[in-house]
Amino acid sequence: MRLTRYLTALALAATFAPQPAEAQRRIPEPQIPPPSITEYTPRSTLVVPAHPVPRAKFPVVDMHGHPPTLDNPENIRTVLVAMDELNIGVMIQTRGSSGERLTNQIEAVRAAGQTDRFAFFTTLDLRDVGPGSGAQIAAQLEADVAAGAVGIGEIGKGFGLGTMKADGTRLTLDDPELKIVWETAGRLGIPVFIHTGDPAEFFEPLDMENERWLEQSIYPNRQLNDRARFPSFDALMAERDRLIANNPGTTWIIAHLSWYGADLGRLGELFDRYPNTVAEMGAVLYDLGRQPRFAREFFEKYSDRLLFGKDSFQPAEYPYYWRVFETNDEYFDYYRDYHAFWKLYGMGLNDDVLRKIYAQNAVNVIPGLPTAALGN
Ligand SMILES: [Zn+2]
């Protein structure tokens, strides 16, 4: 009896053991010419309840806003109309403006009487860093914060991937010349919003197993697998981690969930290791929506560490986020086919978590954020 059970278990283990990749993909040869990856767009025959969410359940802070430049009443009004429809209480302009480009926007928003609805991050000029650059950048930062900026960012992915120093070498994320800048941010009590790298698959060979093949074929300049030009994904993240570790008195807002959306456990380790970090979830909805149960568990566990941000300002795309976060809907479309060839599922987050990721966490880590438009 015991032996039979053992043999049955062995047989089952063999049946379900992972097969080599080659064997897994072996399918019978199509007898009619197969369509290309762009041609094949099967319609879903699944009929299930659907609950679109055009308006977020609670007021939202979009902490990764890339609206048009807000230096004139027309742009401000256009963005406000969309914000009101979507229930975005506050939009943080993270387009990266400093000096006059920043103050022009702050003044225009003030003149329009909309200081409760917009906040501004400043950016850093990281080109040609050399001896003395850090102090200069820190001085500009002080001026921008005095003018009304409430954070730094978005620091773009060029920092780490392409930005060069005056001496012609790559500016590493943990370059000591910049330490004074991060310390200044810490002293001023403003967070640093930093985008490092890109999806890990962009760093891998573009072969038939690359999950982001389509996007990289449409935009070949997104490929980062040339190790002569770019560090590996892991090396870049290690550099970023040293930056965070070296500056424990600075609050870091990690953009795009650190591109760990497909490996939330790794993001959890980052949070556990560095209490001075939170993460923003822009443009990675496709990863959350394909693992709604584990993502919900993760969002519940780290509910104080996650901030809503959208990145690209496309009003029609925000409701996809609300639907993934707020409903238990199944198998619905994502808005950008070349990011993800799969469907999304709702995470069904509870109100407590929703309130935190939509606004409360942003209020906590961005002391200068206006809050009057975030009441219910
Ligand atoms: Zn951005």
User: Which pLDDT value is given to residue 3?
Assistant: 46
* Helices marked H in the chain: 2-16, 21-24, 73-86, 99-111, 133-147, 158-161, 179-188, 213-218, 233-246, 264-273, 285-288, 292-301, 318-326, 351-355, 361-365
CA of 96 to the centre of ligand 1 (A): 9
* Rounded average pLDDT over 338-352: 95
Q: Is the pLDDT of residue 6 over 90?
A: no
CA of 63 to the centre of ligand 1 (A): 10
Q: Confidence band (pLDDT; 50, 70, 90) for 337? A: confident
CA of 114 to the centre of ligand 1 (A): 23
CA of 307 to the centre of ligand 1 (A): 14
pLDDT in tens, 61-73: 999 999 999 999 9
**Long-range pairs for 95-98: beta carbons < 8 A, 24 or more residues apart:** 95/65, 95/66, 95/67, 95/69, 95/154, 96/121, 96/123, 96/153, 96/154, 96/155, 96/156, 97/69, 97/122, 97/123, 98/122, 98/123, 98/124, 98/125, 98/140, 98/144
Q: Confidence band (pLDDT; 50, 70, 90) for 17? A: very low
CA of 141 to the centre of ligand 1 (A): 19
CA of 120 to the centre of ligand 1 (A): 13
CA of 30 to the centre of ligand 1 (A): 43
Of 34-48, 72-86, 306-320, 358-372, the least confident: 34-48
CA of 287 to the centre of ligand 1 (A): 18
- Taking all residues of the chain, what is their mean pLDDT, rounded to a whole number? 94
CA of 198 to the centre of ligand 1 (A): 12
Chain position carrying tokens 């959306």: 261
User: Which pLDDT value is given to residue 21?
Assistant: 53
Q: Confidence band (pLDDT; 50, 70, 90) for 138? A: very high
Q: Is the pLDDT of residue 13 over 70?
A: no
User: Which pLDDT value is given to residue 22?
Assistant: 53
Q: Which residues contact 60 (CB under 8 A, 6 or more apart)?
A: 86, 87, 88, 89, 90, 308, 358, 359
Q: How far apart are CA 104 and CA 115, in angstroms?
A: 13
CA of 311 to the centre of ligand 1 (A): 5
CA of 84 to the centre of ligand 1 (A): 22
CA of 236 to the centre of ligand 1 (A): 18
User: Which pLDDT value is given to residue 349?
Assistant: 98
* Rounded average pLDDT over 365-371: 97
CA of 154 to the centre of ligand 1 (A): 6
H-helix or E-strand spanning residue 193: strand 192-194
CA of 29 to the centre of ligand 1 (A): 44
CA of 94 to the centre of ligand 1 (A): 7
pLDDT in tens, 228-256: 999 999 999 999 999 999 999 999 999 99
Give the CATH fold of the 48-374 domain.
TIM Barrel (3.20.20)
CA of 98 to the centre of ligand 1 (A): 16
Q: Is the pLDDT of residue 11 over 70?
A: no
Percentage of residues in the chain having pLDDT higher than 90: 89
User: How far is CA 325 from its chain centroid?
Assistant: 15
Q: Is the pLDDT of residue 214 over 60?
A: yes
Cβ atoms of 276 and 249 closer than 8 Å: yes
Q: How far apart are CA 86 and CA 80, in angstroms?
A: 10
Full DSSP string of 97-120 = E-HHHHHHHHHHHHHTT-TTTEEE
* Rounded average pLDDT over 87-110: 96
pTM value is: 0.92
Q: Confidence band (pLDDT; 50, 70, 90) for 27? A: confident
CA of 208 to the centre of ligand 1 (A): 29
pLDDT in tens, 144-175: 999 999 999 999 999 999 999 999 999 999 99
Exposure string for 4-34, b = 16+ CB within 10 A, e = fewer: eeeeeeeeeeeeeeeeeeeeeeeeeeeeeee
120 forms beta bridges with 93
User: Which pLDDT value is given to residue 20?
Assistant: 52
User: Which pLDDT value is given to residue 25?
Assistant: 65
CA of 125 to the centre of ligand 1 (A): 16
Cβ atoms of 263 and 242 closer than 8 Å: no
DSSP 172: -
Tokens of residue 51, six digits: 């609950």
Full DSSP string of 224-287 = ---TTTS--HHHHHHHHHHHHHH-TTS-EEEGGGGG-TT-HHHHHHHHHH-TTEEEE-TT-HHH
pLDDT in tens, 122-133: 999 999 999 999
Domain map of the chain by residue range? Answer: 48-374
CA of 229 to the centre of ligand 1 (A): 23
Q: State how beta strands 118-122 and 151-155 pair.
A: parallel
Going across the sheet that includes 252-254, the strands are 306-307, 277-280, 252-254, 192-194, 151-155, 118-122, 88-97, 60-66, 311-312
Q: How far apart are CA 237 and CA 160, in angstroms?
A: 10
